[in-house]
Structure 1
Amino acid sequence: MRLDTESLRTLIAVVDLGSMTRAAEQLEMSQSAVSWKIKRLEEHVGRALLIRDGHDLRPTLDGRELLVDARNIVAVHDRAVARLSTSTLTGRVRFGTNAELTASNVTELLSRFNVNHPGATIEIVSSGSDELARLLDRGKLDVATLLVTASERRSDDRTLWADELIWVSSWAWPFDEVDEVPIVSSVPQHHSYDRPLEALSRAGIDHYTAFSGSSTGAMLEAVSAGLGVAILSESWVDDNIVPWQRGNELAPVERVHQVVRAASGERREVADALVATLVADLDEPTA
């Protein structure tokens, strides 16, 4: 039995993204082509690899076991291809990444960049968007990913995705009738969160900071545990993280954009290559 590398790559994308449609977008192929590859792979191995429950897709036991080997096979394949097609690009790039991007697969992306450009060196700084923007403007960074509002976006920023921020709570802890609302916040906190917090005061809703986390992941854990309500991307809403009903009484939270920004002035080729990699790997198609 021989396993097709691209079919394994397709299986990985479908499971990781939980959707044939999103896998098709990432792999730049039609949804029917993705479905066909999965079907042929299942026929080839003689096992069902996915459980299809309406729009829900998840791996079977055989699927989970194959995924472990599939990831290794695809990784080894990609390393071999990259080694034979590595660039002659050299130089050092100082890259700043904010918490929203750190929570994604940025480490995997940067690992592939290093493999594809072995002569290049990346220095990575992780901090809040406001601090990263200041470092860029002072010439301390070459490239950074930032969370900005529409009015803060610059003409040469490359937008990766836009987020609708909403108030959320745990479904088990709605905090609908408490006298003082506990708030889950981030540290460092982006200033786009200031006005929504001020809106609580204007609405006469007493509140206090119950938890301060250093990442989106930490905030999600705190909200899930019922420690308080938070302002998070609408994309995090699920069976446990739900819109906070009292948030409907407040003014809408300003939309934010995740962008890639390069330092002004003459840039090195290695910085342009990193920007291109970030956009190619992380840009989400708009509806």
Structure 2
Amino acid sequence: MNQRLPIDVLRALQSVVETGSVTRASERLHLSQSAVSWKIKRLEKQLGRSLIQRDGQRLVASDDGVQLLIHARRILEAHDAALAHFNPVQLQGCIRLGVTEQVPMAKLSSLLAQFSRQHRQLDVRIVVEQSHVLRQALSDGELDMALHQDFTHRIEARDQLLWTEHVHWCARPGWQHEPGDCLRLITFGPECFYRQRAQECLSAQGIRWQVAVDCASVDGVVSAITVGLGIGVLSSAHLDKRVEVYRPFEQRLPLPEVANVLRFGSDNPEPRLLALHDLLVQALQKA
């Protein structure tokens, strides 16, 4: 067996697993899809093990792939650190990045750790807030970049689309709204655009409502729905077995898709912002 584990091949394996797709991995690595596939197949042949398997529409690591990635991440971290140490051109300064709870934090943390290893003189600071707060912070110059959310018909030309998802009326299993009753609404707060749209839909249909819970946390909203305090609006990413989509409202009060987008705070972003922007787009953008 070949005793070498090439850096580029390990990085290809890591990218495929992190993005779940050869296509997106090839975009991140600036390689052709065939080149990425060939690297993985070459590594599997070298080790005599299957490293990638399909889970629905995503590619995931096999058991052997998971074990190899434990070592691969250490190798790549050491390699990137050494390269950054001797790199004469280094990005410096601070990046203030705003994100919502809709962002997969485990994946984002991994990306930012990779970015920090490559640019050790850059300080990335993260703020987790609701979208309207992030947009205001961008306007006020308090953030350099934000990954925020809005309905697809309201995104602006300056927004870089990453992915879209559906939002749903959600209640605890078995919950029913009796016609004529005042509906109890669970929301993310007075300024949340989910709440504003929900109230518009209810009022347009003549359904009386009152806010039962205002909570800025996804976990808090899901918990309130779970114990039956009312009905709320959740994105597809936060559906779980504790709640169910309330079909009568889905048909009667359809909700638009939401877009997760990346926006700069300035019309002329500096190189350090462009570098992080490109990494986030390559890793998070969904076809």
Measured against the shorter chain, the TM-score band is 0.7 to 0.9
Determine the structure 1 residue equivalent to 2:144. Answer: 142
Instruction: Give the drift of 1:252.
Output: 3.2
Q: Which runs of 5+ in 1 are unaligned?
A: none
TM-score, normalised to structure 2, is 0.72
Is 1:164 aligned with 2:165? yes
Within the candidate set 7, 10, 19, 2:9 is matched to 7
Instruction: Give the drift of 1:34.
Output: 3.1
Instruction: Give the drift of 1:278.
Output: 1.9
C-alpha spacing 1:94/1:220, structure 2 compared with 1 (3 Å): same
Percent of aligned positions with the same letter in both sequences? 30
Task: Provide the C-alpha distance between the structure 1 equivalents of 2:24 and 2:239, rounded to a whole number of angstroms.
Answer: 18
Instruction: Give the drift of 1:210.
Output: 7.0
**Partner SS, residue 168 of structure 2:** strand
User: Contact 1:98/1:146 (CA < 8 Å) preserved in 2?
Assistant: yes
Residue type of the partner of 1:214? S
Determine the structure 2 residue equivalent to 1:76. Answer: 78
Determine the structure 2 residue equivalent to 1:43. Answer: 45
User: Contact 2:222/2:243 (CA < 8 Å) preserved in 1?
Assistant: no
**Partner SS, residue 139 of structure 1:** coil
Determine the structure 2 residue equivalent to 1:67. Answer: 69
Greater mean deviation of Cα atoms: 218-227 or 30-39: 218-227
Instruction: Give the drift of 1:45.
Output: 0.9
User: Contact 2:194/2:233 (CA < 8 Å) preserved in 1?
Assistant: no
**Partner SS, residue 124 of structure 1:** strand
Determine the structure 2 residue equivalent to 1:257. Answer: 259
Residue type of the partner of 1:282? V
Determine the structure 2 residue equivalent to 1:96. Answer: 98
- Which structure 2 residues correspond to residues 114-193 of structure 1 after superposition, within 5 A? 114-150=116-152, 152-155=154-157, 157-167=158-168, 174-175=173-174, 177=176, 179=178, 185-186=187-188, 190-193=192-195
C-alpha spacing 1:226/1:70, structure 2 compared with 1 (3 Å): farther
- Which structure 2 residues correspond to residues 8-27 of structure 1 after superposition, within 5 A? 8-27=10-29
Instruction: Give the drift of 1:273.
Output: 2.0
**Partner SS, residue 99 of structure 1:** coil
- CA deviations over 1:129-185 (Å, ceiling 9, x no partner): 211222222233333332234565444x23142423221659xx6546464888664
Instruction: Give the drift of 1:260.
Output: 3.0
For the aligned residues, what is the CA RMSD? 4.0
C-alpha spacing 1:20/1:246, structure 2 compared with 1 (3 Å): farther
Instruction: Give the drift of 1:44.
Output: 0.7
Residue type of the partner of 1:34? V
Is 1:214 aligned with 2:213? no
Residue type of the partner of 2:217? S
Is 1:33 aligned with 2:35? yes
Determine the structure 2 residue equivalent to 1:107. Answer: 109
User: Contact 1:165/1:233 (CA < 8 Å) preserved in 2?
Assistant: yes
C-alpha spacing 1:55/1:83, structure 2 compared with 1 (3 Å): same
Q: Which runs of 5+ in 2 are unaligned?
A: none
Task: Provide the C-alpha distance between the structure 1 equivalents of 2:58 and 2:143, rounded to a whole number of angstroms.
Answer: 42
Task: Provide the C-alpha distance between the structure 2 equivalents of 1:280 and 1:57, rounded to a whole number of angstroms.
Answer: 20
Residue type of the partner of 2:96? R
C-alpha spacing 1:236/1:86, structure 2 compared with 1 (3 Å): farther
User: Contact 1:176/1:246 (CA < 8 Å) preserved in 2?
Assistant: no
Residue type of the partner of 1:45? L
Determine the structure 1 residue equivalent to 2:276. Answer: 277
C-alpha spacing 1:282/1:226, structure 2 compared with 1 (3 Å): farther
Task: Provide the C-alpha distance between the structure 1 equivalents of 2:58 and 2:269, rounded to a whole number of angstroms.
Answer: 45
